[in-house]
Amino acid sequence: MTDQPARQATLYRMVLPDHTCPFGVRAKQLLQAEGWQVDDRILRTREEVDAFKAKHGVDTTPQVFIDGERIGGSDDLERWLADAV
């Protein structure tokens, strides 16, 4: 019997002092429920969020990456996970 290698996802999500993005929380929960290990990258300031969006050419957070491929936000992740079954 061989051990399956851990499936790893990188999640970038916004957790500001006055706001925790519910979509980021949802994305993390979806990944964990499917057995993924989550490298949880917290964007803690508006400047970090804006710089991340500019760097990756996206309009929203959270953003999920698997094997270096951008999956997208929580709705995109939900569709991706459903298609992966």
pLDDT score, position 84: 81
Question: Which domain CATH number covers 47?
Answer: 3.40.30.10
Phi, psi dihedral angles at 56 (to 5 degrees): -100, 0
Domain assignment present for residue 64? The answer is yes
For residue 14, give its domain range. Answer: 8-84
Domain assignment present for residue 1? The answer is no
Q: What is the pTM assigned to this prediction?
A: 0.90
pLDDT score, position 4: 62
Domain assignment present for residue 2? The answer is no
pLDDT in tens, the chain (85 residues): 555 667 999 999 999 999 999 999 999 999 999 999 999 999 999 999 999 999 999 999 999 999 999 999 999 999 999 998 6
Do residues 64 and 73 lie in contact, with contact meaning Cβ atoms separated by under 8 Å? yes
Q: How many domains does the chain have?
A: 1
Cis peptide before 62 (omega within 30 of 0): yes
The pairing of beta strand 8-16 with beta strand 37-43 = parallel
Domain assignment present for residue 12? The answer is yes
pLDDT score, position 6: 78
pLDDT score, position 62: 98
pLDDT score, position 76: 97
Do residues 7 and 35 lie in contact, with contact meaning Cβ atoms separated by under 8 Å? yes
Domain assignment present for residue 3? The answer is no
Domain assignment present for residue 32? The answer is yes
Do residues 64 and 71 lie in contact, with contact meaning Cβ atoms separated by under 8 Å? yes
